[in-house]
Amino acid sequence: MDKLFLARFQFASTTIFHFLFVPLSIGLVFMVALMETLYVVKKKEIYKKMSKFWGHLFLINFAVGVVTGIIQEFQFGMNWSDYSRFVGDVFGAPLAIEALLAFFMESTFIGLWIFGWERLGKKLHLACIWLVAIGTILSAFWILAANSFMQHPVGFAFKNGRAEMNDFWQLITNGQLLVEFPHVIFGAFATGAFFVAGVSAYKMMKKQDVNFFKRSFQIAMVMAVIGGFGVAFSGHSQAQYLVKTQPMKMAATEGVWEDTGSPAAWTFIGGINDKKKKNDWEVKVPYLLSFLSYSKFSGSVEGMNTLQKDYEKVYGPGNYIPPVKTSFWSFRIMVGAGMLMILFAMIGVVLAWRKRLVHATWYLRLMVPMILFPFLANSMGWIMTEIGRQPWVVFGYMQTKDAVSPNVSAGSILFSIITFSTIYAILAIVLIYLFIREIKKGPDGHEEVEENVSVDPFDKGGEKLVTE
């Protein structure tokens, strides 16, 4: 019943659950916007059907994501009041802009898109869904601006024991944000693409609306390749930035206890021994860590033991080494999942180009569980990002143990964990049920026929008069 552990557990669980929906919303609405663009340009009804079908799934996901996001934000005031006091002046600005600008923009144009199919012109209706897509990306930008401050604090000054923002431009041009933002967005594109591809693969195996889902799959695979390689290259930039700003996180992620020397070998897998502060065994790839860190096959990386001594000189006595096993393995799971995604996306593009996609049953069968891999990669990426920063909640300025609310009891946090977990379980069941129901309907189930049915009281036969 440790209060700090419970507060951290709740933050981790609610954040991970919320982030299951965020990248899917961003990626899925972007694909819907592409499909409707094809409809407006090519004037083929199949693309309109695609926009409506995948748009319904996006709306379900978006609604659940909003609820989980609200619950997550409650935590800052409940469990992390000292943190909120310390960074409120900095943290509040991007969060307020996200709510007042980006989220309102999304909500407004979602409504116009839902009800405007027969009421707005094609181009105006298309503009609505693109504004929703842009709104989701802007939301991610402002949220990541706040998170980037926790990773690399800039644009502030200490006043009255608090961090107060004095340079808004520096906050939104934070180097951490510039490498983190594209990584998250490309990951979201891959998430939406693999969701569309997985559902399409299942329907093609069932021989249901094959032409519809084959075209959906082809669009998804192009987006998956773009997203997959985008994630890889932006992740490489992020790793190089970590070497400069958070070398301890980089060392923990790579399982480097002692200075490597030049060139540095990358530890593919290893037996992490936290107690002895060394690796019991390792499988290494020569030169690769130097390339990951500096884009050249030379250069050394500082080890955790050296950095621990350096941090003690700067910050005072304490343990500044994060949970190494979690950082090390979460990174490898993320990279492994990402590489599999790129491989399957490229296979899909080749099969579609050779017109063998529908008959490649083995591939379609594997693509269904591949829906889960982007979610796994996204979650592992955030676990590495947040755990690797420990013991800091704001790197170099505030430790996590000093951020928890002093007046909230462990029992209260445990009760809220149980409550939130129950709500999340219900939301998950509802989401899965609605997804399955909508997918079973297929594209033809979303054709809206607006009819007013009435009975003429003067017609003795009681015939129904149908007017459109």
Q: Tell me: the pLDDT tens digits for 335-375?
A: 999 999 999 999 999 998 888 888 889 999 999 999 999 99
Do 184 and 174 touch, CB atoms closer than 8 A?
no
Do 255 and 272 touch, CB atoms closer than 8 A?
yes
Which 3-state string (H, E, C) describes 86-151?
A: HHHHHHHHHHHHHHHHHHHHHHHHHHHHHHCCCCCCHHHHHHHHHHHHHHHHHHHHHHHHHHHHHH
Locus of tokens 């996180």: 249
The total number of structural domains in the chain stands at: 1
Q: Tell me: the pLDDT tens digits for 160-178?
A: 888 888 889 999 999 999 9
pLDDT band at 446 (very low <50, low <70, confident <90, very high): low
Q: Tokens at residue 256, please?
A: 């480097």
231 part of a folded domain: yes
Q: What is the mean pLDDT of residues 227-234?
A: 93
pLDDT for 447 equals 55
- The SS3 assignment for 297 reads coil
Secondary structure E strands in 255-318: 266-273, 278-285
Distance CA 233, CA 350 (A): 22
206 part of a folded domain: yes
pLDDT band at 462 (very low <50, low <70, confident <90, very high): very low
299 part of a folded domain: no
Domain that holds residue 416: 3-246+323-441
Do 220 and 194 touch, CB atoms closer than 8 A?
yes
Locus of tokens 């964990």: 417
295 part of a folded domain: no
- Identify the DSSP state of 248: H
pLDDT band at 463 (very low <50, low <70, confident <90, very high): very low
Most confident segment among 92-101, 170-179, 407-416:
170-179
Cβ-proximal residues to 411 (8 Å cutoff; 6+ apart), any chain: 1
pLDDT for 81 equals 86
114 part of a folded domain: yes
Rounded to the nearest integer, the mean pLDDT of the chain is 87
- The SS3 assignment for 321 reads coil
333 part of a folded domain: yes
258 part of a folded domain: no
**pLDDT for 455 beyond 70:** no
In angstroms, how far is the first alpha carbon of the chain from the final one?
Answer: 63
Distance CA 384, CA 381 (A): 5
Do 182 and 233 touch, CB atoms closer than 8 A?
no
Do 200 and 217 touch, CB atoms closer than 8 A?
yes
**pLDDT for 72 beyond 80:** no
Of 246, 290, 258, 269, nearest to 384 (Cα)?
246
Q: What is the mean pLDDT of residues 116-125?
A: 89
Locus of tokens 């980037």: 148
Q: Tell me: the pLDDT tens digits for 1-58?
A: 688 899 898 888 888 888 888 899 999 999 999 999 999 999 889 999 999 999 999 9
Distance CA 163, CA 159 (A): 6
pLDDT band at 327 (very low <50, low <70, confident <90, very high): very high
219 part of a folded domain: yes
- The SS3 assignment for 376 reads helix
Strands 162-165 and 266-273: unpaired
